[in-house]
Amino acid sequence: MAALPYWRLSSFYLFYFALLGSTAPFLALYFDHLGFSSARIGELVAIPMLMRCVAPNIWGWLGDYTGRRLAIVRFGAVCTLLSFSLIFVSKTYAWLAMVMALHAFFWHAVLPQFEVITLAHLKGQTSRYSQIRLWGSIGFIITVVGLGRVFEWLSLDVYPVALVLIMAGIILSSLWVPNAQPVQSERASGEGFLKQLRSPGCWRFTVAWR
């Protein structure tokens, strides 16, 4: 059995959830800093949530169809950075709405595919998943606390730069991770799928994830 690439997998979760920690508490503050009204801010912040409902389904289907999940992760990470970098071009409402939609479409494609890769690496060591996933929480906490201090010392003008640096970290960590393919199983029938949805394990996972 190949050695588990613990730090490579963990580094990806660290940067991915660091990006979440830099957007969840600060994105609305940044738009307020730019002078947008509360209504406009709410609309801009809602766009990534809308993409979260759409993007994972599209990219998940593509990952299942092609089997090239790590390539999708890397492509999504690069496109996330490139599309978000458009924020340096203009700060108008329409332009920012486009930036929010584009970068979120690619960002939300990344994690579901990477989860499959992580579980493929774990194989018989699934109990270690929590040890790897823990670094996501660490990245989130460090970013929330650290960026708060940075914005106090400097200003929210540096906010886009901070996000680009974190996105670059996601790209580099995805390049560091070796590929792994999940064990192939027979395609489940519709009845089998519904049976899985009714299983206690599925509901426990859903409640814990929420």
Report pLDDT digits (tens) over 63-96. 888 888 999 999 999 999 999 999 999 999 999 9
Range 26-51 average pLDDT: 94
103-152 pLDDT per residue, tens = 999 998 899 899 999 988 888 788 889 999 999 999 999 999 999 999 99
Contact of 159 with 26, CB cutoff 8 Å: yes
pLDDT band at 196 (very low <50, low <70, confident <90, very high): low
Nearest partner of 96 among 166, 5, 151, 33, judged by Cα: 33
State the pLDDT at residue 188: 44
User: Residue 2: what pLDDT?
Assistant: 61
> What CA–CA distance (Å, rounded) separates 47 from 148?
24
Domain range annotation of the chain:
6-181
Side chain identity, residue 39: A
CB 199 within 8 A of CB 48: no
- State residue 186's pLDDT score: 42
Locate all alpha helices (DSSP H) within the chain, ordered by sequence.
6-23, 27-33, 38-66, 69-84, 93-122, 129-153, 159-176, 190-198, 200-209
- Under a CB-based contact definition with an 8 Å cutoff, are residues 18 and 164 in contact? no
Please state the φ and ψ torsions of residue 166, each to the nearest 5 degrees.
-65, -40
Answer yes or no: are the C-beta atoms of 27 and 80 closer than 8 Å. no
> Per-residue pLDDT for 195 more than 80?
no
What is the spatial distance between Cα 76 and Cα 107, in angstroms, rounded to a whole number?
A: 6
Instruction: Please say whether the dihedral angle defined by the alpha carbons of residues 21, 24, 27 and 33, taken in this order, is positive or negative.
Output: negative
42, pLDDT greater than 60: yes
Residue 198 confidence (pLDDT): 65
Statement: 6-181 belongs to CATH 2.130.10.10? no
Give the per-residue pLDDT at 63: 83
Average pLDDT, the chain: 87
| pLDDT for residue 194 is more than 60 | no
Contact 118, 132 (CB under 8 A): yes
Kindly report whether the global pTM for this prediction surpasses the value 0.95. no
Q: Is the pLDDT of residue 189 over 50?
A: no
- pLDDT of residue 21 exceeding 90, the answer is yes
